Amino acid sequence: MNAGRIMLCASKLPGRYWGDAARYASYVRNHLPTRANTDYKSPLHVLLDKPPKLGHRLKFGYCCTVHVAHKAEASLKARAEKGIIIGVSEQQKGYRVLIPRTKNIIVIINVQNVDKLDVGDTETRDTVDKLHSEPGVEASTDAPTPTNKVPPECQTRIVRVNKVQAAQIRPTAQ
């Protein structure tokens, strides 16, 4: 569960994708060698008696581009969509990709332009803000943009603290 939690936090996706993060973390763990098995074999290597392929894994939460098939009458529409990788399909060969524009999850074999989420890109930032925002709560615009950078010595860290945590905080002696 820790690996799934870390993947979810690192991807900056909302908490509703924790199941996908946990599933992908267990998928990765089953493919990697462990010293619990003889000769540091992976669990899948022990189970299937052949080493698993490791080169196809992509990082959870990375931005990518997927090809979209359109009918002939829509030939002038965009042929690619931005997506976010949220795992590997267990039913068929391919990656599970979240399409933020439609909020659909698709399974696709070929993904291109796999890159980290660039929060400096306005379209990506808006998408992430929409995914993170709670119903009825507007997205915060206080975060600095690339044109409005704040020097490190002036930055402050804002942390939400509930009442129980606030009671546990004790001032440090100086």
Q: Is the residue at 137 inside a domain?
A: yes
Q: Is the residue at 79 inside a domain?
A: yes
- What pLDDT was estimated at residue 115? 58
Q: Is the residue at 173 inside a domain?
A: no
Q: Is the pLDDT of residue 50 over 60?
A: yes
| Residue among 49, 76, 63 at smallest CA distance from 13 | 63
Q: Is the pLDDT of residue 133 over 60?
A: no
- Look up the pTM and report it: 0.59
- What pLDDT was estimated at residue 126? 64
Q: What percent of the chain has pLDDT over 70?
A: 62
Higher pLDDT, 126 or 78: 78
Q: Is the residue at 47 inside a domain?
A: yes
What is the rounded average pLDDT of the residues 154-169? 51
Alpha-carbon span 47 to 153, nearest angstrom: 53
Say how many C-beta atoms besides its own lie within 10 A of residue 8's C-beta.
24
Q: Is the pLDDT of residue 49 over 50?
A: yes
Q: Is the pLDDT of residue 139 over 50?
A: no
- What pLDDT was estimated at residue 70? 66
Alpha-carbon span 66 to 110, nearest angstrom: 7
Instruction: Give how many domains the chain has, as a whole number.
Output: 1
- What pLDDT was estimated at residue 96? 92
Q: Is the residue at 17 inside a domain?
A: yes
- What pLDDT was estimated at residue 124? 56
Q: Is the pLDDT of residue 122 over 60?
A: yes
Q: Which structural domain, as residue segments, surrounds residue 36?
A: 2-168
Residue pair 48/41 in contact (Cβ under 8 Å)? The answer is no
